[in-house]
Structure 1
Amino acid sequence: MIRTVSSLSFSVMLAMALIGCDNTAKVPQAQAENDKTTTSSTQPITIGYSDWPGFVAWQVAIEKGWLKEADLNVEFKWFDYSSSLSAFAANQLDAVLVTNGDNLVTASGGTKGIMIMATDYSAGNDVIIAKSGINTIQDLKGKSVATEKGLVDHLLLSTALNDAKIPLTDIKLVNSVTNELPQVFASPDISAIAVWQPVANQALKSVAGSKIIYTSKDKPGLIYDTLSVNMSHLSTHKEEWKKVIQVWDKTVKYINDPATHADAVKIMANRVGVDPAQYEQFVGGTHLLDVEANKKVFTKGHGLDSIYGSTYHVNKFNVTNGVYKTEMDADGLIYPDLIQSLK
């Protein structure tokens, strides 16, 4: 499992590209799955998905034929994460699976994706790792901490420091490419890193005595992953999107059921070419959200237990860190009606 460009630094590039360039010629061709259903509709709904457990979970529904059973004509297209956002921005997809933070950024560039449900929130796959002798976030004061600025684990680090009442200026923030963080962490000058799995495991192996001192499990709801739909498509296909959400509910229940969990993990692991036993760790670090959980998440509030509160939080982070200049209309990108209408 690789969250290729999980969140915000790609978002900066995307926003710039949307403002200044024609994206159409630059979008790579996606690999279409064999999940195009045969229904009365001749035009499939196209959804971009990528390598994150909450997105790969859709592979279960694809292989079990549940979309076809729901009389849906859906074509899932597999991308690198950043390429899926580019395709959505170029109107080559009807919907995309995206973090709530990145959905704000695509909107800042002119592509208004409407979040109709959350697949999951990160529950341990994003971590802060420290060397021996550093046991808490408070211990980071005065230390050098490496992360890739603007990405989701910069957000995790910033939030952890804020909760500990440590100004970001009280640490030395070292900007490093995520995939190089294990090597950076081995440097004697670096005391800690903020990174996601599986790079985190590589970093832990690279430095003896290192340990995880904070994870996204400590801040549930900080990082939501969502299904974001093109506004015009949503307005004319609401009943189909309701069915898509119901298929997702069935998928989550299948994954969470002890009787079928192993089969689901095997399907997901095979999609990304990882051993199921190893992939189990990444599934465990992803809190999947069924319809009942989504109803709570899509209830308006200012805490991280609400998609609204989480998105407000990321919105401020994006502006503070120069991802875009002024806060986006977060409420206008969240559409709770479909979730709340389901029984």
Structure 2
Amino acid sequence: MKVPFNRVASVFAVPVLAGLLGCFAAMAQAGEVKEIRIAVPDLSAGAEHSGGGVVDVLRSQQLLEKAFAADGIKVQWNFFKGAGPVINEAFANGQVDFAYLGDLAAIIGKSNGLDTRLLSATGRGVKEYLGVVPGSGIKTLQDLKGKRVAVFRGTANQLSFDAALASQGLSEKDLKVINLDFNSAVAALAAKQIDATWGLSGLTSLQQRGLAELPLNTLDLNGAGSVQSVLVGAGGFVDAHPDVVAHLLKAQEQAVQWLTQERNKEAYVQLVAGLSSYPPAILHEDLKGLDVSVLFASQLDAPFLAKLQGSVDLAAQQRLIRKPFKVTDWVADKAL
């Protein structure tokens, strides 16, 4: 599924598209549901698709497909290399009904006028890493002043980095920030075209090949910059089909129950490794120091909503969004 996208124009186009297309999307959603369209940022480095976490478990165990088979409802998974910004555009165009997103992309969509509903947590305290060129001497975030640093703008990656910088009294203005997606940033770092990047566990693969050093991650910053991820739904669809939403959340909970059991950690690592083309050692390292029963908990509890509100407030402070909002107003009634 291809969606045309211009990163710069997208931020301003989303509210306009949402307004123009909202009535048509609502009309389409009011009828009988034949298909559920789900969007996911593609985190894979290979030919297969991977969204990590609950997404990979849902797909591998066909939980949603089985849950809706009796109703004749098909499940369509759409993976986007362009991650959150492209998915927000797809929402605006009425092309998806649900999306698994990192916090900033979901927040930007909501702030820019997309009618979405917050349905569940899907990840909390996800680690991000600082990757630097070997021998650069960069050991701390303070050492990044004036350096060329790649960050994937408009995604949770950017908000994570800004939160990490803020914890050390810094901001993007202190650096030379370059907008690159995850794979491009990894390639640029390996080629020494940049000084550093801020990203996910895939950076560990560069470290293992001697192409990068990872001097710190968000655990070293007492959690500053850790990422929260969520499931959101198109407002018109959620309001028109609460029974479908409830059925989806019930099926998702089966995956969550499997994920949050320590005895399944190794099976989960092997699953994601197979789909993402990352070595299992990288995923083991990424889960080190994290409690899976907390990491993958789906409840929209007070601590999670407070953390998400903090993300909204920081995004507004850093001018990543124009209009802050109350997270509690975003939560779908059924989700609560």
Q: Does TM, normalized by the shorter one, top 0.5?
A: yes
Amino acid at match of 2:130: I
Give the aligned length. Answer: 304
* CA pair 249-163 structure 1, distance change in 2 beyond 3 A: same
| Equivalent residue number for residue 58 of structure 1 | 58
Check conservation: 1:147, 1:176, Cα contact below 8 A. yes
SS at match of 1:79: strand
| Equivalent residue number for residue 214 of structure 1 | 217
Instruction: For 1:221 and 1:142, locate their aligned partners in 2 and report how far apart those are by CA, in whole Å.
Output: 18
SS at match of 1:57: helix
Q: Which runs of 5+ in 2 are unaligned?
A: 22-31, 43-50
Q: Which residue, out of 323, 327, 332, partners 2:324?
A: 327
Check conservation: 1:45, 1:94, Cα contact below 8 A. yes
Check conservation: 1:24, 1:90, Cα contact below 8 A. no
* CA pair 254-181 structure 1, distance change in 2 beyond 3 A: same
| Equivalent residue number for residue 197 of structure 2 | 193
1:132-171 CA-partner distances (Å, limit 9, x unpaired):
5443334x264525022634333223222222234555x4
Q: CA deviation at 1:90?
A: 1.2
Amino acid at match of 2:162: S
1:148-196 CA-partner distances (Å, limit 9, x unpaired):
2634333223222222234555x43332524343455468896543123
Instruction: For 1:49 and 1:282, locate their aligned partners in 2 and report how far apart those are by CA, in whole Å.
Output: 24
Instruction: For 1:127 and 1:292, locate their aligned partners in 2 and report how far apart those are by CA, in whole Å.
Output: 19
Matched, 1:49 2:48: no
1:204-257 CA-partner distances (Å, limit 9, x unpaired):
64546x223123684278422211111122223323322322222211222344
What's the Cα RMSD here?
4.2
Q: Which residue, out of 120, 124, 133, partners 2:123?
A: 120
Amino acid at match of 1:14: S
Q: Which residue, out of 219, 225, 229, partners 2:229?
A: 225
| Equivalent residue number for residue 13 of structure 2 | 17
SS at match of 2:334: helix
| Equivalent residue number for residue 158 of structure 2 | 154
Q: Which runs of 5+ in 1 are unaligned?
A: 1-8, 26-40, 300-304
Check conservation: 1:53, 1:268, Cα contact below 8 A. yes
Check conservation: 2:126, 2:226, Cα contact below 8 A. no
Instruction: For 1:269 and 1:177, locate their aligned partners in 2 and report how far apart those are by CA, in whole Å.
Output: 24
* CA pair 180-290 structure 1, distance change in 2 beyond 3 A: closer
TM-score, length-scaled by structure 1: 0.69
Q: Which residue, out of 243, 246, 249, partners 2:247?
A: 243
| Equivalent residue number for residue 30 of structure 1 | none
Report percent identity of matched pairs: 14
Amino acid at match of 1:77: W
Instruction: For 2:121 and 2:298, locate their aligned partners in 1 and report how far apart those are by CA, in whole Å.
Output: 6
Amino acid at match of 2:322: K
